[in-house]
Amino acid sequence: MKPKQSCLHSFRYAFNGIVYAIKNEAHIRYHLIITCLILAISWYFNINETEWMVICMSIFLVLISEFFNTSIEHSVDLTTQNPHPLAMASKDIAAAGVLLAAIHAVIQGGIIFIPKLTIMGGLLK
């Protein structure tokens, strides 16, 4: 039986995972760059509280999906040395989860920002 660890240890392990992923995973860094751009655009358009909530939920959904995808890829790579159809399917399915989260984020962003761009475009004419 494993002794109970403090909550602080759990947070440290989670923080270590975030740091590891940022340092070693290009896709995580790409998502973080896009996150910074979306946050800047959101600030520029002065979106309301509800829109901020949707943007933040979409961002976190994509990041969480990418972290799980990365974890699954590492686990599969660790457990199999030879290509196996189920190993490839597992990795592909995890990647599909990230793709669906990203599509969701684009749709939500479109719902929020396209009207603002349309209004802005009308003002510039």
Q: What is the dihedral of CA 87, 93, 98, 104, to 10 degrees?
A: 180
CA atoms within a 13 Å half-sphere pointing along the CA-CB vector of 32: 11
- % of the chain residues with pLDDT over 70: 93
pLDDT greater than 80 at residue 100: yes
Catalytic residues: 66
> pTM of the predicted model, to two decimals?
0.86
- Each residue's pLDDT tens digit, 36-52: 999 999 999 999 999 99
Q: Residue 3 — very low, low, confident or very high, per pLDDT cuts 50/70/90?
A: low
pLDDT greater than 70 at residue 122: no
| CA-closest candidate to residue 59, choices 96, 108, 114 | 108
Q: Write down the domain spans for the chain.
A: 9-124
Report the pLDDT value the prediction gives residue 9, as an integer from 0 to 100. Answer: 85
> Is residue 59 a contact partner of residue 38, using CB atoms and an 8 Å limit?
yes
Average pLDDT along the chain: 92
**Rounded (5°) CA angle 84-88-90:** 115
Pair of tokens at residue 34: 């896009």
- Each residue's pLDDT tens digit, 67-89: 999 999 999 999 988 889 999 99
Pair of tokens at residue 97: 């989860």
Torsion sign, CA atoms 88, 90, 98, 8: negative
Q: Residue 106 — very low, low, confident or very high, per pLDDT cuts 50/70/90?
A: very high
Fold of 9-124: Helix Hairpins (1.10.287)
